[in-house]
Amino acid sequence: MSTVYRVLDFFEKKGVVIKTRVMNNEMAVYELNRFKHKHYAVCMNCHKIIAMDNCPMEKFIPELEEDDFHVMGHNLEVFGLCKDCYSE
Ligand SMILES: [Zn+2]
Ligand SMILES: [Zn+2]
């Protein structure tokens, strides 16, 4: 593990950054912990990561069997092909 990742891991534990795992945990995206979170689209071919401006699940309230469960967040992964990889 490189120093950069150790520092990011430390920040993650402190809640300074949020780690989002993409591509079946093969890659991780770090970002500063802000009130408004972001989601990412990942290119399946070149693994380029593009941030999405909106959260499609912002108004989504999951129905849970457990009444006592408090939802604190969610994870959403969008994958496809970037414009460099998508050719007709
Ligand atoms: Zn691509
Ligand atoms: Zn969201």
pLDDT score of 25 = 76
Rounded Cα–Cα distance for residues 40 and 34 (Å): 15
Domain extent, residue 80, equals 2-86
Spacing of C-alpha 47 from chain mean position:
14
Query: What is the domain-level CATH number for residue 65?
Result: 3.30.1490.190
DSSP 7-75: HHHHHHHHTSEEEEEETTTTEEEEEE--SS--EEEEETTT--EEEESS-TTTT-----S-TT-------
User: How many domains are contained in the chain?
Assistant: 1
pLDDT score of 85 = 95
- The three-class DSSP label of residue 79 is strand
Rounded Cα–Cα distance for residues 83 and 64 (Å): 38
Please tell me the distance between residue 2's alpha carbon and the centre of ligand 2 in angstroms: 29
Read off the pLDDT band of 1 (50, 70, 90). low
Please tell me the distance between residue 86's alpha carbon and the centre of ligand 2 in angstroms: 26
pLDDT digits 0-9 by tens, 45-66: 999 988 888 888 777 778 888 8
Please tell me the distance between residue 83's alpha carbon and the centre of ligand 2 in angstroms: 24
